[in-house]
Amino acid sequence: MTTPHSPAGGVRPAPRTLTRYADGEWHRLHPATPLLKGGIALIAVLGVVIANLRERLIDFFFHTPNYGGDPIDAIYDRGLTGWALLVVAVVILGAIGGFYLSWRMHSFRIGDEAVEVRRGILSRSHRKARLDRIQGINVHRPLFARIFGAAKLEIIVAGHDANVHLEYLGSSLAEDLRRDILRLASGARAAATDAPLDAATPAELARGRRVTISGVVGNRVDEFLKPADLDPDAAPPASVVSMHPGRLAGSLVLSGFTVFLLIVAAAVTAGVLSGRYWILFVILPGMLGAFGFYTRRFGKSLRYSISGTADGVRIGFGLFATSSETLPPGRIHAVEVLQPLLWRPFGWWQIRINTAGHSRQKGAAGESNTTTLPVGSVGDVQKVLPLLLPGIADERRAAVALAGMTREADQSVFANAPRRARWLRPFSWRRTGYTIVDGVAVVRHGAIWRRIVFVPLARLQSVEIEQGPVRRMFDLAEAKLHTVEGPVHPRLSVIATDAALELFDLVSAGAIRWAASDTSHRWNRAVELRGSRSDPATLPTDTAARCSAPCGTGGVGPAPSEPASSVSAGPKNGGER
């Protein structure tokens, strides 16, 4: 597979909007990369050496009496000092040479079609990732690298261990590169982007101008104090949700882990009361670990931010080591709004997503990157959902989400399980239902863990209905929507048989139609296409096939001509091309 790449020819974006690193030529990483990669190890080795030679160094400087008997004495006594120094020098030079060589041999190239990385001295590896297959880009800054103003850029691709890592890059360069890669991946050409054209200029200037010591230090401080996700260019990112420390602490205290801790504490108390004091010593390390767990999660989520950009959703978090991930449009396969029982009195919700690729870095709250909103109110959820599900009309999405979250809202949106389902799901049958809005299947289920799951049909993999003997007795069935691996499992454990058949037809037809009209893998081109459309009413509207007449949301949308017959009115004949 070769790129039909020609640096000179072809249509490419105006050069000044791209950094010089995205010009389709090979470039090297940050010169301090080996130091940063082996940073902690290097310090550790130095520490060990110094600790071991402490006596020797004191002796060297202060001429204290010599007790003798260690290898260094032996070398000294036999007059091998010169040889020893030579060996040390060779080792050090070899290490430096090795590091230098590995840095020289490690290079990357960003072209119009793909991102490539070459690395390795003896065994070379060459990895090439197609730009239109990018699932997300993560800029991660570990504490050590942050001090030196460096960052890791991780390009997330579907597949096990398939991600492309560029570590390390200059901090602002990483941000610029992310923007450039996303712009190239979006299929945008020339002036088609709505990012500011002069965006690169300050960064370019910053690199170009003569660096003074105070300037460097000032930059470092600036970068350090900057929230994880606010880079100076690509301005929109003002987080739509602010993470309230009290709520964050509360959500951690009221987590399943706390319940586990309380059970352990009860067991320990019982043990101590019966005179087995040794239990305290056994449990002590665990307690310290638990404390660490809480503080780590708290610290990570504290500077959480989420915002929408032209190139997707940006999620940033982290206090010391920061991380900021961009998910381009059309990479989210399922969205779940979840509420554990303990959060219910406070009205807190969490949002998790399924994506095809996964970052190696841990996400907010120390959880995997699939947790998009660690904790938030109903209002926060309503602010985040538009970013994750841009395909649905705002009023309809808000109405469906509200109906899913609060009992007071209009419940007619969801086609719920029939009353006979109470024999199988005594608590949750009332909440088990689904609806289809604007090409997104919405499934609601669960009583203890309340869940509302959104599945964009364009990215649904397959749909399944199932009926065992027990469900057959009650004239019920089970339905599952299959998406890529992740924490979200959209399923309806009870649904009337005829409703299941209807869902099967609607969803399987919708999956085909919406995928055919989906252009999100080249999202800026899609914008161009959509921009050429005359009026918004021709946008595909299969308003909740479930909610024809009685449904409140059907009428809210931008004049859907005939919601009841919407099953047949797909994007194909809805004026897509």
Partner 1 sequence: MTQRLDIAADFKRVSPKYVLVVIVGSLIGGAMFSAAAAVVWLVGHAWWGWIALAMVLVITLVQLIIAPRRARAIGYQLRDDDLLLRRGIMFQRFVAVPYGRMQLVDVTRGPVSRVLGLADLKFVTAAASTNVAIPGLPESDAAELRDRLVELAESRRAGL
- How many angstroms separate the CA atoms of 153 and 348, rounded? 33
CA nearest to 393, candidates 537, 525, 520, 514:
537
- Amino acid occupying residue 237: P
User: Of 164-172, 275-283, 375-383, 482-490, which segment contacts partner 1 by CB under 8 A?
Assistant: 482-490
**Applying CB under 8 A, does 464 fall inside the site for partner 1?**
yes
Interface with partner 1, residue 353, by CB under 8 A: no
For residue 330, the minimal CB distance to partner 1 (Å) is 8
The burial of 145, by beta-carbon neighbours within 10 Å (0-12 exposed, 13-18 middle, 19 or more buried), is given as buried
- Type of residue at 548: S
Q: How far, in Å, are 10, 476, 549 from residue 502 at the CA level?
A: 49, 13, 17
The correct pick among 155, 436, 458, 526 for binding partner 1 (CB under 8 A) is: 458
Q: Per rule CB under 8 A, is residue 512 in the interface with partner 1?
A: yes
* Nearest-angstrom CA–CA distance, 214 and 222: 12
Amino acid identity for residue 121 in this structure? I
Which lies closer to partner 1 via its Cβ, residue 252 or residue 499? 499
For residue 457, CA distances in Å to 38, 155, 485, 509, 533 come to 45, 25, 16, 9, 23
User: Is 511 a binder of partner 1 (CB under 8 A)?
Assistant: yes
Residue type at 447 in one-letter notation: A
- Residue 379 CA to residue 402 CA, distance in Å, equals 9
Q: Nearer to partner 1 by C-beta: 392 or 500?
A: 500
The answer to the question of residue 50 lying near partner 1 (CB under 8 A) is no
Residues 354 to 393 in contact with partner 1, rule: CB under 8 A: 356
**Residue of 102, 377, 412, 467 interacting with partner 1 (CB under 8 A):** 467
User: Residues touching partner 1: how many (CB under 8 A)?
Assistant: 40
Q: Residue 419 CB, nearest distance to partner 1 (Å)?
A: 13
CB of 573 to partner 1, least distance (A): 15
Nearest CA-CA partner of 242 in 322, 298, 296, 303: 303
If binding is defined by CB under 8 A, does position 573 make contact with partner 1?
no
The residue range among 277-285, 443-451, 480-488, 536-544 that interacts with partner 1, by the rule CB under 8 A, is 480-488
Our finding on whether 154 is near partner 1 (CB under 8 A) is no
Name the residue with tokens 């499934």.
443
Q: Give the three-state DSSP class for 453.
A: strand
Among 258, 497, 538, 548, binds partner 1 (CB under 8 A): 497
499 near partner 1, judged by CB under 8 A: no
The one among 338, 477, 527, 544 contacting partner 1 by CB under 8 A: 477
Binding of partner 1 at residue 480 (CB under 8 A)? yes
Considering only 24-32, 424-432, 435-443, 493-501, which stretch makes contact with partner 1 by CB under 8 A?
A: 493-501
Instruction: Name the minimum Å distance from CB 121 to partner 1.
Output: 34
| Closer residue to partner 1, CB minimum distance, 95 or 470 | 470
Q: Which range touches partner 1 (CB under 8 A), out of 112-120, 242-250, 275-283, 467-475? A: 467-475
Instruction: Give the burial class of 327: count Cβ atoms within 10 A of its Cβ; 0-12 exposed, 13-18 middle, 19 or more buried.
Output: buried
Closest CA to 231 of 293, 329, 348, 314: 314
Could you count the other beta carbons within 10 Å of the beta carbon of residue 552? 17
Rounded least distance, CB 349 to partner 1, Å: 25
| Identity of the residue, 29 or 134, whose beta carbon is nearer to partner 1 in the bound complex | 134
Q: What is the DSSP string of 92-147?
A: HHHHHHHHHHHHHH-EEEE-SSEEEEEE-SSS-EEEEEEGGGEEEEEEEE-HHHHH
CB atoms within 10 A of CB 116: 18
484 binds partner 1 (CB under 8 A): yes
Contacting partner 1 within 517-556 (CB under 8 A) = 518, 520-521
Using the rule CB under 8 A, give the single segment among 54-62, 200-208, 499-507, 535-543 that binds partner 1. 499-507
Q: Is 158 in the site for partner 1 (CB under 8 A)?
A: yes
Binding site for partner 1 (CB under 8 A): 132-133, 158, 330, 356, 458-469, 472-473, 475, 477, 480, 482-485, 497-498, 500-501, 504, 507-508, 511-512, 515-516, 518, 520-521
